Amino acid sequence: MAAPLSDGTEQGRDTVTRDRRPSDPGGPATGADGFALIELLVVMIIVAVLAAIAIPIFLSQRQKAAETAAKSDVANVGREVVSYYVDGSLPLVASSAGEVWTLTDTASGGSYTQTGRLSRGDSLTGSAQSATDFCLTVAPTMPGARTETWSFSVSGLVAGATC
> CA 70, CA 74: separation in Å to the nearest integer?
6
Model pTM above 0.75: no
Is the domain 37-159 a CATH 3.55.40 member? yes
| pLDDT on residue 42 | 95
Could you please report the per-residue DSSP string of 7-74? TSPBTTS-HHHHH--TTSSSS---S-SS--HHHHHHHHHHHHHHHHHHHHHHHHHHHHHHHHHHHHHH
* pLDDT tens, N- to C-terminus, the chain (163 residues): 556 656 665 565 555 445 545 555 555 555 567 889 999 999 999 999 999 999 988 878 888 888 888 889 999 999 999 899 998 888 999 999 989 999 998 777 768 889 999 988 888 999 999 888 899 999 887 765 566 788 888 888 888 877 7
> CA 12, CA 42: separation in Å to the nearest integer?
41
Q: Domain boundaries in the chain?
A: 37-159
